[in-house]
Structure 1
Amino acid sequence: MSDNQSLLAEQRRALILDEVRRRGGVRVNELTRRLNVSDMTVRRDLDALSRQGVVEKVHGGAVPVVEASTHEPGFEAKSALELTAKEDIARAAAALVQPGSAVALSGGTTTFALARRLLDVPELTVVTNSTRVADVFHTAQQQTGAAGAARPGAAMVVLTGGVRTPSDSLVGPVADQAIRSLHFDMLFLGVHGISVEAGLSTPNLGEAETNRHFMRSARRVVVVADHTKWGKVGLSSFATLDQVDTFVTDAGLSDEIREEITEHLPGLVVAGPGADADGERS
């Protein structure tokens, strides 16, 4: 990090969080020099990151928050985090979808953002275990119906049954059986954590098994996750990185981490500020 005075607050905070996680902690005076901003600006950034629950403020600086591997935040708690990054990811991921495809969307706030983008892609068949994702399509159809006519090319949506998780996903034997009998052109998978060592992971054992079935039924697996998910590890790993075809993320990842990802994944798409106009692909 050098002269980043012109960075937007969200970009600057992403850089601070990356530094905290990479080094295990930072001091305010170090950040003021590296970012070329005032002491007050850094402290406001640390306050914001602390409210998000991703860093813990200590005297003179901050350290990363270490969550229990079984901790599973609810949908509402997650939906307020990294909003711009999720919209950037959703826009880039939607560009991968061809009209008339059969796509699956797992649960999560990033797939929820993607669902809103997919409303404009005609003739889709959408299978999901997320009640929130299903509601996006249902609400759009209701609004169109109230206007007097069905929307041409509206998606056909299949919601699996199952037991609801804190993230409003449906998991368990009922969901697994429904998914096993289907075949998808593309799966968009939200994750709790992703790393070289642990692969894709979740704190929910039922969700881990349901995600395995999703992956077995998909011709192409696309992970959609913002930069804060990199390095996180949940209780249960359900896939290795080489089982993923494409990772769509935002520009908050450092160049060093991007290089590490490309060593283990066949495809990387970096969306939003800091990427090329069409996203960075490898």
Structure 2
Amino acid sequence: MSVSLTSGTTTFALARALRQIPRITVVTNSPRIADLLQDAPAEGQTVLLTGGLRTVSDALVGPLATAAISSLHVDRCFMGVHGFSIEDGLSTPNMMEVEVNRLFLERSNSRVLLADHSKWGTKGLYRIAELDAIDTLITDDALLPADVEAIAEHIQDLRLEKA
């Protein structure tokens, strides 16, 4: 299986769990995630780092990153965001990360958003994609019932985990 992980604290937490998964290929634009996985104990794990210009939020972006991601296809993309809402979709305050994040979504069979309830309703300056671009949302159970209902109209698979 191949997965992509965008940069961010939530995807970094997921990367810790992926260290135990054998024979997985991880594509990331996060040097922190690549460093974490480079000495993973799991057998046959491959890590691909996109390259590019490093942003303040530890993401590799720019023409090198987009060229690398454009040439790949992964089974599942795991994405963290600054915010998400029905009106503004997935968003980030970083203009440089938008194109890379869009490509991560486009170049995958399945798209998973990892975001706690505090990201709901938060709007970054730049839109990455519509909320409907996500297949699965994994969040905590602190969302209001009305928000859960509204999100479920746009995302096929909504998973609420204990906070």
What interval of TM-score do these two structures reach, taking the shorter chain for normalisation? over 0.9
Q: Identify, as 1 or 2, the structure richer in strand.
A: 2
CA contact (8 A) 1:195 1:231 kept: yes
Q: Distance in 2 between matches of 1:204 and 1:248?
A: 23
Alpha carbons of structure 1 residues 239 and 152: separation in structure 2 relative to 1, 3 Å: closer
Pairing partner for 2:14 from 114, 117, 121 = 114
Per-residue CA deviation, residues 148-207 of structure 1 (Å, 9 max, x unaligned), is xxx452410001111111110101111000000000000000101100000001111110
Q: Distance in 2 between matches of 1:163 and 1:228?
A: 29
Pairing partner for 2:28 from 123, 128, 131 = 128
Q: Distance in 2 between matches of 1:152 and 1:224?
A: 23
Per-residue CA deviation, residues 225-246 of structure 1 (Å, 9 max, x unaligned), is 1110000111110100111100
Alpha carbons of structure 1 residues 152 and 221: separation in structure 2 relative to 1, 3 Å: closer
2:68 alignment partner in structure 1: 178
2:5 alignment partner in structure 1: 105
Alpha carbons of structure 1 residues 265 and 160: separation in structure 2 relative to 1, 3 Å: same
CA contact (8 A) 1:202 1:233 kept: yes
Alpha carbons of structure 1 residues 265 and 152: separation in structure 2 relative to 1, 3 Å: closer
Please report the RMSD computed on the Cα atoms of aligned residues, expressed in angstroms: 1.1
2:113 alignment partner in structure 1: 223
Q: Is 1:209 the equivalent of 2:109?
A: no
DSSP-derived class of the 2:143 partner: coil
Which one has more relative contact order, counting CA pairs under 8 Å at least 6 apart?
2
CA contact (8 A) 2:20 2:42 kept: no
CA contact (8 A) 1:226 1:249 kept: yes
Q: Distance in 2 between matches of 1:256 and 1:269?
A: 15
Name the count of aligned residue pairs.
163
Using the aligned pairs only, state the percent identity: 50
Give 5+ residue unaligned stretches, structure 2. none
Q: Distance in 1 between matches of 2:64 and 2:142?
A: 37
Q: Is 1:265 the equivalent of 2:148?
A: no
Q: How does 1:33-112 map to 2 (within 5 A)?
A: 101-112=1-12
CA contact (8 A) 2:117 2:143 kept: yes
Give the structure-2-normalised TM-score: 0.96
- Who wins on radius of gyration, i.e. which is larger? 1
Q: Distance in 1 between matches of 2:102 and 2:152?
A: 23
